[in-house]
A and B are shown apart, each in its own frame.
Chain A
Amino acid sequence: MNTITDAFHLALNLIWQFDAELMRIIGLSLRVSLSAVVIGSIIGLPLGAFLALARFPGRHACIVVLNASMGLPPVVVGLVVYLILSRSGPLGTFGWLFTAAGMVVAQVVLITPIVAALSRQVVADLWSEYEEQLRSLGLTRLGAIATLLWDGRFSLSTAVLAGFGRAIAEVGAIIIVGGNIAGVTRTMTTAISLETSRGDLALAMALGIVLLTIAITINAAATTLGNAARRAQGA
């Protein structure tokens, strides 16, 4: 009767027993979201820094669009990526629809604006603080991109973590693009969605608890590593 208490027991049991299916689902969730974060950061960090430092006509419009894109509805992104990756769509020949690769594409679209928008702010602040110093070293605005990204790496890790948080938690995009196929594209969030629709609320909630635990663990690990690195460098 008491779904929430049941859920906690079930969650502990699932983790304790190292349930093979659950481990595979967790593994896939992490692989997809971490891949998306890495790709999203490789694109988003330099893009954010470029928008912070470069001066060109239409830059403000770009920034407005970028900031607005942080709130892209996952279900819309899912639908658009679905249509693009569909066999009848422009990138249909890859056959990426209903695969993990397709889910990564959708999440990259979701995450990149978040990483870029947040890192733009960080880099802009750093530039206003160190402009004179950097100029005296003979660096131009664009030449300073790499330096500022490196100097701001600890603050930028927050941008990357925000992107990861979005990726691991969203269901709207990957359930459309991935199709929630058992053993192939079933992730934590799509499994929760499925169990809810089967009326197995305790199991759905248990999976939710497992997901939250993983997200907290990863964030804690990232913070600890960051602090250790900062101390080691005396920064």
Chain B
Amino acid sequence: MQRRHFLGLMAGIALTFSSSLALAQDKFIVVASTTSTEQSGLFGHILPLFTKKTGIAVRVVAQGTGQALKTGEKGDADVVFVHDPVAEQKFVEAGFGVDRKPVMYNDFVIVGPKSDPAKVMGSRNVLDSYKKIAAAKAPFASRGDSSGTHAAELRIWKESGIDVKTAGEGWYRETGSGMGPTLNTASAMNAYAFTDRGTWLSFKNRGDLVIAVEGDVKLFNQYGVMLVNPAKHAHVKVTEGKAFIDWLTSKEGQDAIAAYKIGGEQLFFPNYKPGQNS
């Protein structure tokens, strides 16, 4: 008898928990996005405004751009919001995404230790700075994770004529992790690192790191949003997903993005022009 009570109790507990897990299934969309938008606090600022207006909750899965596009490709998100125009273009051309729109930009900066072993502090020329860092064999921490930031970093290395794959000699180090962990690593070993400004501004464990190089047009970082193609994945929430894309590119959404500041500094600059699609 006691045994039956015990089993009944266990089953009761199991039911209670599983039913409580099933709650909160209101209207929502899943957005695969990047660590830079999530960790900079932008989403925490703009998403409540969207949800308040439309009643649609936004569930953000923050990944690297490469992984976020993969998530969209597999149909595990309704909307993809990333920053790698080249990869986004391929994604749309391969039929995985539709309705792609440019939303905003921010910029990348190179941070480095105050001691500045490569003597690049205050430079506005990113190619020149990369050459100096390589020549000085100063430690450089790279994401190494196929994210949008990593792709941008590699494009600039390529342009500066330095092959980091063969550079070797231990100064170029791939952390294989997100922006935050890479900055943690850079801060711990006083290395230079290539980061988006948003993550840097909200990053707290800076140690001796400061901004070394900024202001070069090559450091421009464009964000785009697109709907996962409902023709490939029938369960994609087209109405809700489109509502989100439309809001981001509406005056209201663009103003909300511009209004997000850390320490008085604006992080993202909205730049959608009506009728602009790609």
Complex A-B: 12 CB contacts under 8 Å? A35-B21, A38-B14, A86-B75, A87-B75, A87-B233, A101-B21, A184-B59, A197-B177, A197-B178, A199-B184, A199-B205, A199-B206
Give the 6 A-B residue pairs with the shortest CB-CB distance, closest first.
A197-B180, A199-B205, A87-B75, A179-B61, A35-B17, A88-B74
A183 to chain B, nearest CB (A): 8
Per DSSP, chain A at the interface is helix
* Interfacial chain A residues near B204, Cβ < 8 Å: 198-201
Q: Is the CB of B21 within 8 A of A198?
A: no
Measured between C-beta atoms, what is the minimum distance from A159 to chain B in Å?
Answer: 14
Are B14 and A35 within 8 A (Cβ)? yes
Residue A192 at the B interface, CB < 8 A? Answer: no
Binary interface encoding of chain A residues 13-45 relative to chain B, with 1 for a CB under 8 A from any of its CBs, else 0: 000000000000000000110110011011000
Does B10 lie within 8 Å of A101, measured CB to CB?
no
Cβ A199 vs Cβ B183 within 8 A: yes
Q: Is the CB of A196 within 8 A of B13?
A: no
Distance in angstroms from B138 CB to nearest chain A CB is 21
Judge if A73 is at the interface, Cβ distance under 8 Å: no
Known A-B contacts A35-B21, A196-B181, A199-B180; the reply to A41 vs B10 at CB < 8 A is yes
Q: Which residue of A lies closest to B17 (CB)?
A: A35
Which residues of the partner chain A approach B39 to less than 8 Å between Cβ atoms? 194, 197-198
B10 touches A35 (CB 8 A): no
User: Would you call A88 and B10 a contact (CB within 8 A)?
Assistant: no
Q: How far, in angstroms, from A196 to B202 measured CA to CA in the complex?
A: 13
Set of chain A residues within 8 Å of B178, measured between Cβ atoms: 197
Does A110 make an interface contact (CB < 8 A)?
A: no
**Contacts A184-B59, A199-B206 known; A42 to B14 CB distance under 8 Å?**
yes
Does B76 reach chain A (CB closer than 8 Å)? yes
Contact A98 B59 (CB under 8 A): yes
B20 x A31 contact (CB < 8 A): yes
Quick check: is A181 within 8 A (CB to CB) of the other chain? yes
Q: Give chain A nearest CB distance to B17 CB in angstroms.
A: 4
A2 to B18, CA, bound (A): 42
B203 at the A/B interface (Cβ < 8 Å)?
yes
B21 & A197 in contact (Cβ 8 Å cutoff): no
Is B120 on the interface with A (CB-CB < 8 A)? no
Q: How many residues of A contact B (CB 8 A)?
A: 34
Within 8 A of B (CB), among A85-128: 86-88, 92, 95, 97-101, 104
Q: Is the CB of B10 within 8 A of A42?
A: yes
A194 to B41: give the CA distance in the assembly, Å: 12
Q: With an 8 A cutoff between CB atoms, is A189 at the interface?
A: no
Q: Interface of B with A (CB < 8 Å)? A: 2-3, 6, 10, 13-14, 17-18, 20-22, 24, 30, 35, 39, 44, 59-62, 74-76, 177-181, 183-184, 187, 202-206, 233, 235
How far does the alpha carbon of A201 sit from the alpha carbon of B180 in the complex, in Å? 11
A97 to B233, CA, bound (A): 15
In the complex with contacts A87-B235, A97-B76, A181-B17 CB distance below 8 A = no
Given known A-B contacts A42-B14, A95-B235, A197 and B74 have beta carbons under 8 A apart:
no
CA distance A87 to B76 in the complex (A): 6
Chain A residues positioned under 8 Å from B180 (CB to CB): 196-199
Q: How far is the CA of A73 from the CA of B235 in the complex (A)?
A: 32
Residue of B nearest to A100 (CB): B21
Which chain B positions have C-beta within 8 A of A92? 75
A38–B14 alpha-carbon span in the complex (Å): 6
A61 at the interface (CB under 8 A from B): no
Chain A residues with Cβ under 8 A from B233's Cβ? 87
Return chain B residues, CB-CB under 8 Å to A86: 74-76
What CA separation (Å) do A88 and B96 show in the bound complex? 13
Distance A200 CA – B180 CA, assembled complex (angstroms) = 10
C-alpha gap A92/B236 in the complex (Å): 13
Beyond the given A31-B17, A87-B233, A98-B30, could you list 20 further A-B residue pairs with CB under 8 A, ordered by the A residue number? A31-B20, A38-B10, A38-B13, A38-B14, A86-B76, A87-B235, A88-B75, A95-B235, A101-B18, A150-B2, A150-B6, A181-B30, A182-B60, A184-B59, A197-B39, A197-B177, A197-B181, A198-B202, A199-B205, A199-B206
- Chain A's closest residue to B41 (CB) is A198
Tell me, yes or no, whether A65 is within 8 Å of chain B by CB.
no
